[in-house]
A and B are shown apart, each in its own frame.
Chain A
Amino acid sequence: MPSADEVKSRIEAAIPGAEVDVQTADEVHFSAHVRASAFEGLTRVQQHRLVYDAFDGELGGAIHALALKTEVP
């Protein structure tokens, strides 16, 4: 079962330079706020895909839900 820190590190590894804040109450449902210059010029869908790509196949599995808010610095 992933911890909030693991989720945070995964996103940071996938999107270098991202500022990531992850909260979880139960280590199954997570909420993440991600600020990254890599999001510049991308649609929200594309921004969320960049984050989802950090969790190949695990979303909906070990990570039941990841509520996501993305932002360009």
Chain B
Amino acid sequence: MSNQIRDAIAEAIADNDIILFMKGTPDRPACGFSARTVAMLQALETPFTAVDVLPDPRIRQELSALSNWPTIPQLFHNGELIGGCDIVTEMYESGELAAALGVEPPADASGQAPVGADPVAAPLGIENRLG
């Protein structure tokens, strides 16, 4: 059962050029780190696939086992883990993210990463359980 989930995750990573595993959705991020990562991708105006890890705790377990990365969000490009929110922020601010993803640098030349929308609180219990 778990292996089916892991296989599905591996397939999603292989099939999508840019894929973000996050808490919540781009429209309704459930965590500040996920919200910031979404905001940076949107600032680069690059299309990306987003997967919400919250509906089933096994998604996160299997993703972390597969990627050897403990936290969410996780951004992948061409099948490779780019990193979590900290690395994505550093790369955004240095211009490396645009280069790595093959897109134009953000029009806003300040180099400051966008903060992102306020996260929507997850239903009580879910946030506690999944941390």
Contact = CB atoms under 8 A, between A and B. Distances in A.
Interface string B60-95: 000000001111100000000111111100110000
B87 to A, nearest CB: 5
Contacts of A44: 83, 87, 90-91
Given A45-B81, A61-B131, A67 B86 contact: yes
A49 B69 contact: yes
Interface string B86-112: 110011000000000000000000000
12 contacts: A44-B87, A45-B82, A45-B83, A48-B69, A48-B86, A48-B87, A52-B69, A52-B71, A57-B70, A59-B71, A60-B72, A65-B33
Interface of A: 44-45, 48-49, 52, 55, 57, 59-61, 64-69
Q: For the complex of A and B, list the 7 residue pairs with the smallest distance between their C-beta atoms, beginning with the closest.
A: A60-B131, A59-B70, A44-B87, A68-B86, A52-B70, A45-B83, A64-B131
